[in-house]
Structures are given as structure tokens and as C-alpha cells.
């Protein structure tokens, strides 16, 4: 996922890039291509890259343990500059380019941001319910019910 920036004119530029999930070093549950729509906004001192990327993955539902396919999407902005000033520290979203560096490789930021976009709780559908045979195994009483049961019992006494 590389863009050649040598001779890039000032202003906005659009790119549609793709690369295989394996090529980007994503886990094997991601298949097919990672698609990235990248806009570069070049000014005298810097290039601002706005990246929208997506990849299809196969996940295991946290609730029913079933497999499901979902498209993971992310959007982020990175700034590339040629000037290193005292305040500018290199971080994930801010990069200092060497004078002779004329290719920006988006592979690793795209990969990192896609990984961050994977929800912590993976559900095949938002209203997925635990199948009864699994539910029966973790038969814990909701504390609110416990209180109610105690109340009922005290009524009897
Ligand atoms: Zn599920």
C-alpha cells in the first residue's frame, strides 16, 4: 500500500489501494483484500493523509460461539512532514520524512488501525442470545432475583 509522493502537486489527491490481508500481516481469520481509500492533501510543509480502510474477517461470537463474518472498518488521519522541529515528536499519526523519501507506505498504519477497530465484544448479531444448552451450564442467579427470592421467603415466614 505505497504511494509515490515525488512530484506530487499541492492540493488534494485520491487513491484507491488494495493489498491482501496476508501481505499486510493480518491474522488468518482475515481473508481477501484490505481496501483503502486514501486522500492526500499536500501543502508546502506537509501532507495530510486521510485513510478509510476495510477488511473482511471471520470471528467467533462471544455469546453463542458461532462463526460469523464481519467487515471491519477504520478511518484515521496521518500527517507527514519534512521538517523536524523541537515540538514535533514522531508518533503514530505524525511522521517525519527524509528529504529523499518519496514513497509513503500505508501498510502498517492501516493494519494497526484495523486491529484497533475490532470490537472488544464480538457478537454475531447485537441481540444474540446464549443457546439454552450453554446457558444451563452457567446457571447463576442474578443478584436482583436473589433479593426477590429472599423477600418472598420472608413473606412466607
Ligand atoms: Zn452469537
Number of domains the chain contains: 1
Q: Which residues surround ligand 1, an ion (CB under 5 A)?
A: 61, 63-64, 66, 124, 128
Q: Is residue 153 part of a domain?
A: no
Q: How far is the CA of 30 from the centre of ligand 1 (A)?
A: 19
The residue among 128 and 92 whose pLDDT is bigger is: 128
Q: How far is the CA of 25 from the centre of ligand 1 (A)?
A: 27
**Residue 141 domain flag:** no
Q: Is residue 81 part of a domain?
A: yes
Q: Is the pLDDT of residue 150 over 90?
A: no
**Nearest partner of 33 among 22, 24, 20, judged by Cα:** 20
pLDDT at 63: 92
In a domain, 13, yes or no: yes
Ligand 1 centre and the CA of 68: distance in Å? Answer: 8
What pLDDT, on the 0 to 100 scale, is given for residue 27?
93
Highest-pLDDT range among 7-11, 139-143, 150-154? 7-11
Phi, psi of 73 (to 5 degrees): -125, 145
Interval 108-114 mean pLDDT:
94
**What percent of the chain stands above pLDDT 70?**
77
For residue 19, the CA-to-ligand 1 centroid distance in Å is 30
Burial of 14-28, coded b for 16+ CB within 10 Å and e otherwise, reads eeebebebeebebee
The number of beta carbons lying within 10 Å of the beta carbon of residue 6 is 8
pTM comes to 0.75
| In a domain? residue 132 | no
Q: Which domain holds residue 78?
A: 2-127
pLDDT in tens, 41-83: 999 889 999 999 999 999 999 999 999 999 999 999 999 998 7
Amino acid at each position: 500500500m505505497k504511494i509515490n509522493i515525488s512530484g506530487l502537486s499541492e492540493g488534494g489527491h485520491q487513491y484507491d489501494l488494495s493489498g491482501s490481508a496476508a501481505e499486510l500481516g493480518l491474522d488468518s481469520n482475515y481473508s481477501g483484500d484490505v481496501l483503502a481509500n486514501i486522500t492526500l492533501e499536500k501543502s508546502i510543509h506537509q501532507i495530510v493523509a486521510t485513510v478509510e480502510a476495510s477488511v473482511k474477517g471471520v470471528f467467533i461470537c462471544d455469546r453463542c460461539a458461532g462463526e460469523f463474518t464481519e467487515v471491519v472498518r477504520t478511518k484515521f488521519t496521518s500527517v507527514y512532514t519534512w521538517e523536524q522541529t523541537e515540538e514535533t515528536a514522531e508518533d503514530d499519526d505524525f511522521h517525519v520524512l527524509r528529504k529523499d523519501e518519496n514513497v509513503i507506505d500505508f501498510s502498517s498504519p492501516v493494519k494497526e488501525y484495523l486491529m484497533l477497530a475490532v470490537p472488544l465484544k464480538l457478537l454475531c448479531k447485537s441481540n444474540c442470545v446464549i443457546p439454552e444448552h450453554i446457558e444451563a451450564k452457567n446457571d447463576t442467579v442474578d443478584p436482583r432475583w436473589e433479593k426477590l427470592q429472599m423477600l418472598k421467603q420472608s413473606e412466607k415466614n
